[in-house]
Amino acid sequence: MFVARSIAADHKDLIHDVSYDFHGRRMATCSSDQSVKVWDKSENGEWHCTASWKTHSGSVWRVTWAHPEFGQVLASCSFDRTAAVWEEIVGESNDKQRGLSHWIKRTTLVDSRTSVTDVKFAPKHMGLMLTTCSADGVVRIYEAPDVMNLSQWSLQHEISCKLSCSCISWNPSSSRAHPPMFAVGSDDSNVTYGGKVQIYEYNENTRKYGKAETLMTVTDAVHDIAFAPNLGRSFHVLAIATKDVRIFKLVPMRKESTSTGPTKFEVQIVAQFDNHNSQVWRVSWNITSTLLASSGDDGCVRLWKANYMDNWKCTGILKGDGSPLTGSSGQPSAMSTVLGSSVQSSQNALNGMSAGSSAWSF
């Protein structure tokens, strides 16, 4: 059972991304108002904004946390063609007593010539590595060789994906059986350009990332992509936000020890839902990858869950403004989602969400 409540975000423009830290006690948001805010959860569960600062000279698309073993480190990316790494400074001012913390910019990554659309840290077992992707179709992988010095980042790999990139996701598996792998999604809306999700894998021999797979069935613009936490499973699960929600399973084929090429995968589509009526914007997995949340053009957040037969079903719908969902939209009657009453009565109280469908494209 889930209860939604509103938090006064105080951003002056659209919020583009929300990101939790490893422990779920801190949160970062970024916005078109060019700022990033950091939130800390108090013991009673309330969120308090402890830092807010201007990060870029354009809309900030995404913000993400590094694993806490590298310190309190954030990365952001922006329309201003840069990505930046931020570190929290403690102990040098009295801010902490006032419940504020101080963040300083450790580096600006200026290699992209176009808007940087996504930024993600690689899984921690790979060290402190940062990946960006940009509208000109280039994925860049940076590494901080000295984790004590976050101002030094070297560009390790530059991978051209040929298509404008909108999102990137690392395979979080730390198993040695799985070489480092990431997936890139493209928001190019031209269906004739073929598959919009590419999967790259690190090759130990060439020390380069090579394309392992292209999901040819995904031909529409992809807005978000998320590898599920692997949790020791023998296969990988990938959720894709395109004109619908799709869940793919990538089963690595048994590889002969002699072959040096990329892993071959058996790609299975596990689920495909068009309940958002049209474009799906975001997908996110819970920690055990047993629940998937998605948001779409119908202004709703939907929760998906698989039963033991691996059949995925919608188990909850929440309206984007937190208000209760009225009327039946052909949803399962035994909904696990009940919405709280503590929700603000914003102007959106009268949403005409029944009215119809809509479609985005770049």
Q: Which is closer to another protein, CB of 80 or CB of 213?
A: 80
Q: First-to-last CA distance in the chain?
A: 36
Work out whether strand 83-89 and strand 102-109 pair parallel, antiparallel, or are unpaired.
Answer: antiparallel
Q: Report, in Å, the least distance between residue 23 CB and another protein.
A: 6
Q: Report, in Å, the least distance between residue 263 CB and another protein.
A: 16
Q: Which is closer to another protein, CB of 16 or CB of 157?
A: 16
Footprint on residues 88-107 left by another protein (CB under 8 A): 88, 90-92, 96-97
Footprint on residues 38-67 left by another protein (CB under 8 A): 43, 45, 47, 58-59
Binding region for another protein (CB under 8 A) out of 85-93, 136-144, 151-159, 252-260: 85-93
Q: Which is closer to another protein, CB of 41 or CB of 105?
A: 41
Give the separation between CA 72 and CA 320, rounded to whole angstroms.
30
Q: Report, in Å, the least distance between residue 259 CB and another protein.
A: 19
Footprint on residues 254-313 left by another protein (CB under 8 A): 279, 281-282, 284-291, 293-299, 301, 303, 305, 308, 310
* Site membership for another protein, residue 16 (CB under 8 A): yes
Burial (CB < 10 A; 0-12, 13-18, 19+), residue 149, is: exposed
Handedness of CA 330, 277, 133, 87 (dihedral sign): negative
Q: Which of 149, 152, 341, 361 binds another protein (CB under 8 A)?
A: 361
What one-letter code names the amino acid at 322?
A: G
Q: Which of 72, 190, 272, 331 binds another protein (CB under 8 A)?
A: 72
* Site membership for another protein, residue 20 (CB under 8 A): yes
Q: Which is closer to another protein, CB of 95 or CB of 157?
A: 95
DSSP state of 95: G
* Site membership for another protein, residue 253 (CB under 8 A): no
Residue 66 dihedral angles phi and psi, to the nearest 5°: -85, 165
Answer for the pair 291, 305: CB distance below 8 angstroms, yes or no: yes
Footprint on residues 139-198 left by another protein (CB under 8 A): 174-177
Give the separation between CA 93 and CA 100, rounded to whole angstroms.
10
* Site membership for another protein, residue 232 (CB under 8 A): yes
Give the separation between CA 19 and CA 179, rounded to whole angstroms.
26
* Site membership for another protein, residue 233 (CB under 8 A): yes
Residue 69 dihedral angles phi and psi, to the nearest 5°: -70, -15
Among 11, 358, 359, 17, smallest CA distance to 168 is for: 17
